[in-house]
Amino acid sequence: MRKEDVDHSLYLVTDSTPAILGDKDICAVVEAALRGGVTCVQYRDKTSDTGALVATARRLHAITQRHDVPLLINDRIDVALAIGCEGVHIGQDDLDLSSARKLLGPDAIIGVTVSNAEETDVACKGGADYLGIGTVFATPTKENTKSIIGVDGLQQILLQIADEPIKTVCIGGINASNASRVMWQSEAPGGKGKALDGVAVVSAIMAAPDPEEASWDLLRLVRSPPAFARAAVTAEQQARSPEDLLALVPEVVRAVDAKKPLSHNMTNLVVQNFAANVALSVGASPIMANYGEEARDLAMLGGALVLNMGTVTPKGLENYLKALRAYNEAGRPVVFDPVGAGATAVRRAATKTILGSGYIDVLKGNQSEILSCIPGGAEVQQRGVDSSAPGNDADRQKLGSAIRELAVRRRNVVVMTGKTDYITAGRAVFTVDNGHAYLGMVTGTGCCLGTTVSAMVAAYPDDKLAAVVAGLLLYSIAAEVAAEREDVKGPGTFVPAFIDELFNLRKATAKGDLGWLERAR
């Protein structure tokens, strides 16, 4: 087999420890995995004596050869030479690349594990054939893994090697629940980076009750985009003008009115009642369900999920992750509101975990919350960028480019609220200047915007940018209209009037009365 022809889609790394292999025969497991479609095998055994290593490697090679799949040996160049297999995989603590190349010759496949920019650079310059990039997610399979790089770190490396003629797989905690998402999410912004060639797994196959079926399943997942990718904002949708988007607002609001979509809120203790009433006013069916086990069933009902981090607890976080997974698998929209994201270490960690564990269709927060979702965003914040200062063009530009980068990286829609609200899917940044000071004097108005947006994306999932713009305009204009009413004397009387006006504007829109939209700024 020529090394250019190697398919890295599903790369199996073996493990001989009882915790993973159990009492199964390694050759039987590898054979089953190959029947299931594994495209590359690495024999990794950190404990056996050299004689046993060579004997097992020989048996494995006979099997992989029958399936026309390369066999690589982890670390042990001597074993690879002894059995004459296709190559080796070396880690950062193993023999160096150029010595390995000297020993094995130009035709051998040599892969290198990398976890940062420098290691990647060295491996590419040294002529590695492929990179094993990791550790993506924490995994019990390998002891003392060095750094957990997440999908963000993976994307960074793929961007760095955009023009290198090298193959790539990622490794660490990859399984059927995340393989498809990691392949899609790691794709670098705007198609600028390298696409991952595949995933490398140990336990997802070696510890599976049925390795053949597990392999078959994983290969299918690696090769097909995840359910939510179908409805990501397209380049054409991004290219529209503010006027184009404004023209779609009535259609979005009417879609909510007609469909009464489910708005599934996992939200904080303070806003449950208010958020449910807001959902009803904009035309959605609210359910305030914080128990993750329910999410799978609820995700099937054609709605959207709001993850609001307002009251975060360890149990709550587990519930969020279950729900996130269920909605991602169903291809239904998820709105994430990282309430107080930068405020405490717990919230910073929870935000990172949520962002790393699934796909967020719409990320919504105030300036400090959104900036805490951006690597280096805290600095922008500390430099004193002030979104509440209208007319400061330099600040607007800085914030605009920060959130554009965030949306590009995450391939989603980002909404940053403030006196001016910013919306972007990575290309243009749209702003909304509607709203009223009372919104800032009543608790939960930010959270309820998340609920409103969830109703819009649930009813209009194929155009999330238009849906988000519609939600923001409906919400902030309803606040203006309510605040101007004669019966509204302050924040207290504002709340019921606001709920009324959300309802009134929706009903007016359904009837074709669009006067309120003339207020859009």
Residues contacting residue 130 through CB under 8 Å, at least 6 positions apart: 6, 8, 109, 111, 112, 166, 167, 168, 169, 197
Q: Which does 156 bind (CB under 5 to 8 A by kind): Mg ion, ligand 3NM, none?
A: none
The DSSP letter of residue 234 is P
Q: Which does 201 bind (CB under 5 to 8 A by kind): ligand 3NM, Mg ion, none?
A: ligand 3NM
Under rule CB under 6 A, residue 135 binds ligand 3NM: yes
8 Å CB contact between 49 and 68: no
Token pair in block for residue 110: 């040599």
Question: What's the min distance (Å) between Cβ of 204 and Mg ion?
Answer: 19
8 Å CB contact between 516 and 250: no
Q: Which does 173 bind (CB under 5 to 8 A by kind): Mg ion, ligand 3NM, none?
A: ligand 3NM
The residue annotated as part of the active site, out of 40, 124, 170, 447, is 447
Under rule CB under 6 A, residue 400 binds ligand 3NM: no
Question: What's the min distance (Å) between Cβ of 170 and ligand 3NM?
Answer: 9
- Amino acid 475 reads Y
Q: Which does 339 bind (CB under 5 to 8 A by kind): Mg ion, ligand 3NM, none?
A: none
Tell me which residues in 446-465 interact with ligand 3NM (CB under 6 A). none
8 Å CB contact between 193 and 164: no
Under rule CB under 6 A, residue 215 binds ligand 3NM: no
In the complex with ligand 3NM, which residue's Cβ is closer, 175 or 319? 175
Residues in the chain: 521
Q: Which does 75 bind (CB under 5 to 8 A by kind): Mg ion, ligand 3NM, none?
A: Mg ion
Stretch in the footprint of ligand 3NM (CB under 6 A) among 129-137, 389-397, 399-407, 441-449? 129-137
Q: Which does 202 bind (CB under 5 to 8 A by kind): ligand 3NM, Mg ion, none?
A: ligand 3NM
Neighbours of 106 (CB within 10 A): 7
Residue 501, CA distances (Å) to 478, 484, 505 in order? 5, 11, 6
- Nearest by Cα to 388 from 349, 412, 417: 417
Under rule CB under 5 A, residue 91 binds Mg ion: yes
Rounded-to-integer distance, Cα 414 and Cα 404, Å: 8
Tell me which residues in 5-24 interact with ligand 3NM (CB under 6 A). 13
Q: Using the rule CB under 6 A, which residue among 36, 150, 173, 377 binds ligand 3NM?
A: 173
Q: Using the rule CB under 6 A, which residue among 36, 70, 87, 134 binds ligand 3NM?
A: 134
Q: What is the CA radius of gyration of the chain?
A: 26
State the number of binding residues for ligand 3NM (CB under 6 A): 17
Is 70 strand, coil or helix? coil
Q: Which does 139 bind (CB under 5 to 8 A by kind): ligand 3NM, Mg ion, none?
A: ligand 3NM
In the complex with ligand 3NM, which residue's Cβ is closer, 180 or 203? 203
Under rule CB under 6 A, residue 424 binds ligand 3NM: no
In the complex with ligand 3NM, which residue's Cβ is closer, 141 or 368? 141
> Is there a catalytic annotation at residue 447?
yes
Query: Pattern of binders to ligand 3NM over 66-105, x per CB under 6 A?
Result: ----------------------------------------
- Work out the angle at residue 220's Cα, subtended by the Cα atoms of residues 215 and 224, and round it to the nearest 5 degrees: 150
Query: Pattern of binders to Mg ion over 449-488, x per CB under 5 A?
Result: ----------------------------------------
- 40-43 vs 71-74, strand pairing mode: parallel
What is the DSSP annotation of 171-211?
ESS--TTTHHHHHHHTS-GGG-SPPP-EEEESHHHHT-SSH
Give the helix, strand, coil percentages of the chain, each rounded to 5.
Answer: 50, 15, 35
Under rule CB under 6 A, residue 157 binds ligand 3NM: no
Under rule CB under 6 A, residue 113 binds ligand 3NM: yes
Q: Using the rule CB under 6 A, which residue among 9, 185, 186, 203 binds ligand 3NM?
A: 203
Residues contacting residue 87 through CB under 8 Å, at least 6 positions apart: 3, 70, 72, 73, 80, 104, 108, 109, 110, 111, 129
Question: What's the min distance (Å) between Cβ of 464 and Mg ion?
Answer: 43
Tell me the CA end-to-end span of the chain in Å, nearest whole number. Answer: 63
Under rule CB under 6 A, residue 202 binds ligand 3NM: yes
Stretch in the footprint of Mg ion (CB under 5 A) among 83-91, 130-138, 230-238, 259-267? 83-91
What is the largest distance, in Å, between two alpha-carbon atoms of the chain? 90
Q: Which residues pair with 59 in a beta bridge?
A: none
Is 519 strand, coil or helix? helix
Residues contacting residue 207 through CB under 8 Å, at least 6 positions apart: 15, 20, 21, 22
Rounded-to-integer distance, Cα 317 and Cα 446, Å: 20
Unique residue bearing structure tokens 């009223």: 436
Q: Using the rule CB under 6 A, which residue among 61, 76, 142, 194 binds ligand 3NM?
A: 142
Under rule CB under 5 A, residue 75 binds Mg ion: yes
Under rule CB under 6 A, residue 174 binds ligand 3NM: yes
Residues making contact with Mg ion (CB under 5 A): 75, 91
Q: Catalytic residue positions? A: 447
Residues making contact with ligand 3NM (CB under 6 A): 13, 113, 132, 134-135, 139, 141-142, 145, 171-174, 201-204
